[in-house]
Amino acid sequence: MAKRALLSVSDKTGIIELAEGLAQHGIEIVSTGGTANILRKEGIEVTDVSDITGFPEMMDGRVKTLHPKIHGGLLCLRNNAVHMEEAVREDISMIDIVTVNLYPFEETISKKDISINDAIENIDIGGPTLIRAAAKNYQSVTVICDPGDYTTVLESLENDGAVPDDIRKMLAVKAFRHTADYDSAIDTYLSKKLLGEDILRMKFNSATELRYGENWHQEAKIYIEPHLEGPSVAKARQLHGKKLSYNNYIDADNALQTVKEIEPSRPAVAIVKHNNPCGFATGDSLAEALQAAWNGDPVSGFGSIICTNQTFDLESAKILKGRFIELILAPDFEPDALEYLKEKSEKLRILELPELNDEFQQNHTYRYITGGLLKQSRNIGIYEKWECVTDKSFPEDKRDLAEFSLHACKCIKSNAVSIAYEYKKGCFMLLAMGAGQPNRVDSIRKLAATKAIENLELIYQRSKPDVSFEKYCQQILSNCVMASDAFFPFDDSIVQAAENNIYYIVSPGGSIRDDEVIATANRLGVSLVFTGMRHFLH
């Protein structure tokens, strides 16, 4: 049974209740300075650390617990006869519970214009030492560094007055993590302030095994950032289906990034295959957006990832009848839609992410390369300017369509082009895209333009308009907007676009041949807007 507890906390949350609970179990409370004063005011009997050590707290509280009478009581191995004999000889009493949390260093350095001296004064020395000593001897000592664990410990004492092994082990690991994070924050701050070095230390929680990696023979795991806030596939709740694979996470993340380019008040759907949005659309309803997104590339939709920014309803679910889908991610699912999807396939992965429409909290992205880690700020926004550089003006009523095309383009792998179509007033779809080509003209000529015509042929066959297919394509494409993720190095991209009846183009500009590109656009009757913002995605 625990007999003595040392309480010394910076965060006083719940400390009175903990002390009262310990006292009810006959446990002696030992404490320091401010913590002891608070407990005494509540009528809790407290022994000062200075009464045990025989030394007063000194040097503005810098020195108070660093003493053999304290650390001997923590580190003594109870089953070691020599240790116990030495403890008796030196009049060292055992300490069975340690409750410590640390000076708020990270909170201090987050304040504006904090001085280096103020930061250093908030580096705890005695606290981490107590925590580490108690955690090292977890077989006999219970260490608590999180007020959220007070209730767990008190409830465990209700049995026989002893904290169970499994709880002590859990708390010891948590304690070492706590001091590791604390030291990491100090290292990062002082490395920059004192040495001018930019240090990056990262922490992720325990890994979850994935079904497999990019390929069947590769093993894979996912580690999740602690205290993760905002929308993330890593925190989505799986409601149904097979275990997720590495590629599922990669594609679902791209789908999430894509659909969040659209304001959440507007129903939007992104369909991703091999880390590229092959379908992307808005609509007056989710079902309408899903159908339009599917029409953008029904072939690539096979085995795809679907992400929506609205609650997935039954009407939308029925659109997927007879279509193989790997995964659906949505903020919520209507009960009848969820049952329909479950019956559709026992393998279909269904993920719920209630925070999907919240703002992203992460300001940077990271990518590991062999032996190194790249860090960059997130790609936010779609343009820095809106400058029509051609004789033919860019119609204001195509501005929204152009912005949609840019939103799609920035989520497509470079060299990327997107062709966007207003299939209904105020409703847009990605008609076709070109991705991942070593040169931009191939993205247009061999991929986007060709795919647009193929997709239009399918739409034409369903709608059967009273016009020839050639005329139909010309009418549609001449009203589309093509976006490019980077400047045109030559005018051949403009030529290919015009040959396919695409006359409205947005691009960052900035090529040494911009004048040549603009001249060709003027010659071919193309309206060209420069945005000043590049969107490479590698």
Q: Using one digit for the tens of pLDDT, what is the confidence trace for 256-275?
A: 999 999 999 999 999 999 99
What SS3 string covers 449-496? HHHHHHHHHHHHHHHCCCCCHHHHHHHHHCCCEEEECCCCCCCHHHHH
Alpha carbon 37 to chain centroid, angstroms? 42
How many Cα atoms occupy the beta-carbon half-sphere of 301 within 13 Å? 26
Q: What is the pTM of this model?
A: 0.87
Whether residue 501 contacts residue 478, with contact meaning beta carbons closer than 8 Å, is answered with yes
Amino acid at position 201, single letter: R
Amino acid at position 347, single letter: K
What burial letters (b/e) apply to 162-200, b meaning 16+ CB within 10 Å?
A: ebeeebbeebbebbbebbeebebebebbbeeeeeeeeee
Task: With cut-offs at 50, 70 and 90, classify the pLDDT of residue 495.
Answer: very high
| CA dist 180 → 183, 193, 205, 224, 456 (Å) | 5, 20, 13, 17, 58
The pLDDT, as a whole number, for residue 139 is 94
Q: Is 538 a catalytic residue?
A: no
Amino acid at position 437, single letter: Q
Helix axes 150-160, 15-24, angle to 10 degrees: 10
**Candidate list 25, 71, 83, 274, residue with the active-site label:** 274
Q: What is the mean pLDDT of residues 418-444?
A: 95
| pLDDT tens per residue, range 336-384 | 999 999 999 999 999 999 999 999 998 999 999 999 999 999 999 999 9
The pLDDT, as a whole number, for residue 168 is 94
CA distance 87 to 192: 44
CA distance 521 to 209: 53
Task: With cut-offs at 50, 70 and 90, classify the pLDDT of residue 2.
Answer: low
Closest by CA position to 260, among listed 361, 338, 386, 349: 361
Mean pLDDT over each residue of the chain, to the nearest integer: 93
CA distance 321 to 11: 55
The CA angle 345-346-348, to the nearest 5 degrees, is 65
CA distance 272 to 121: 51
**Candidate list 3, 83, 136, 342, residue with the active-site label:** 136
What burial letters (b/e) apply to 481-494, b meaning 16+ CB within 10 Å?
A: bbbbbbbbbebbbb
Question: What is the residue extent of each domain of the chain?
Answer: 4-195, 226-352, 379-530
Q: Is 274 a catalytic residue?
A: yes
| pLDDT tens per residue, range 144-196 | 999 999 999 999 887 777 888 999 999 999 999 999 999 999 999 999 999 99
Place of tokens 């913590």: 35
CATH superfamily of this structure's domain 226-352: AICAR transformylase, duplication domain (3.40.140.20)
Q: What is the mean pLDDT of residues 58-76?
A: 81
CA distance 167 to 163: 7
Say whether 415 sits in a helix, a strand or coil.
Answer: coil
CATH no., domain 4-195:
3.40.50.1380
End-to-end CA distance of the chain: 60
Q: DSSP alpha helices (H): ranges in 124-198?
A: 126-136, 150-160, 165-195
Task: With cut-offs at 50, 70 and 90, classify the pLDDT of residue 51.
Answer: confident
Say whether 274 sits in a helix, a strand or coil.
Answer: coil
Task: Measure the CA dihedral 69/76/35/101, to 10°.
Answer: 130
Residue of 395 and 202 predicted with greater confidence: 395
CA distance 249 to 240: 15
CA distance 7 to 372: 43
CA distance 248 to 410: 20
CATH no., domain 379-530:
3.40.140.20
CA distance 194 to 183: 16
The values of phi and psi at residue 407, to 5°, are: -60, -40
Record the tokens describing residue 317, joined without a space.
């679910």
The CA angle 291-294-296, to the nearest 5 degrees, is 115
Residue of 53 and 217 predicted with greater confidence: 217
Place of tokens 């204001």: 396
Query: Do the two domains 226-352 and 379-530 of this chain adopt the same fold?
Result: yes
**How is the beta sheet containing 4-9 ordered, strand by strand?**
47-48, 28-31, 4-9, 97-101, 142-144
| pLDDT tens per residue, range 186-232 | 999 999 999 999 999 988 887 899 999 999 999 999 999 988 899 99
Say whether 247 sits in a helix, a strand or coil.
Answer: helix
Which class for 119: exposed (0-12), middle (13-18), buried (19 or more C-beta within 10 A)? middle
